[in-house]
Amino acid sequence: MFGINGGEFLVLALLAVIVIGPERLPAYARQLREWVIKGRTFVRQGKETLRAEVGEDVDWSQLDPRQYDPRRIVREALMEPEPRPAAATTAPPATPAAPAPFDPDAT
């Protein structure tokens, strides 16, 4: 669970018995049990509330925060093909015989 094998767990248990003492160890174990039960209840109620308010048809992959990794975003931006420029539209040439528009009030 926490990357602890059996031997390391026995060393930690022995250390707890030595530091806490055999007379206070049952009280601490009982308190730890209550915290674990409260934690499970809290998580279960949170899941039920979320399911009741959001519903069952939520795509959780869209809400995954790992998709916002800046390295991945930059990598995908560099790997996508470069967009082709749009065809340039040219205006028809101005007629040289017509005078340029002039507004005397604009000065």
* Domains of the chain by residue range: 1-56
Q: What is the pLDDT of residue 93?
A: 65
Backbone dihedral angles phi then psi of residue 7, each to the nearest 5 degrees: -65, -40
Please tell me whether the overall predicted TM-score, pTM, comes out greater than 0.85 for this model.
no
- For each of the chain's 107 residues, which pLDDT tens digit applies? 567 888 898 998 888 888 888 888 889 889 989 999 999 999 999 989 988 888 888 787 887 887 788 888 888 888 888 777 777 667 666 666 777 777 788 76
Q: What is the pLDDT of residue 36?
A: 95
Helices (H), the chain: 6-20, 25-54, 70-79
Residues 21-58: b if buried by 16+ CB within 10 A, e if exposed: eeeeeeeeeeeeeeeeeeeeeeeeeeeeeeeeeeeeee
CB 4 within 8 A of CB 12: yes
Q: What is the pLDDT of residue 49?
A: 92
Task: List, in order, residues 6 or more apart from 61 with CB less than 8 Å away.
Answer: 67
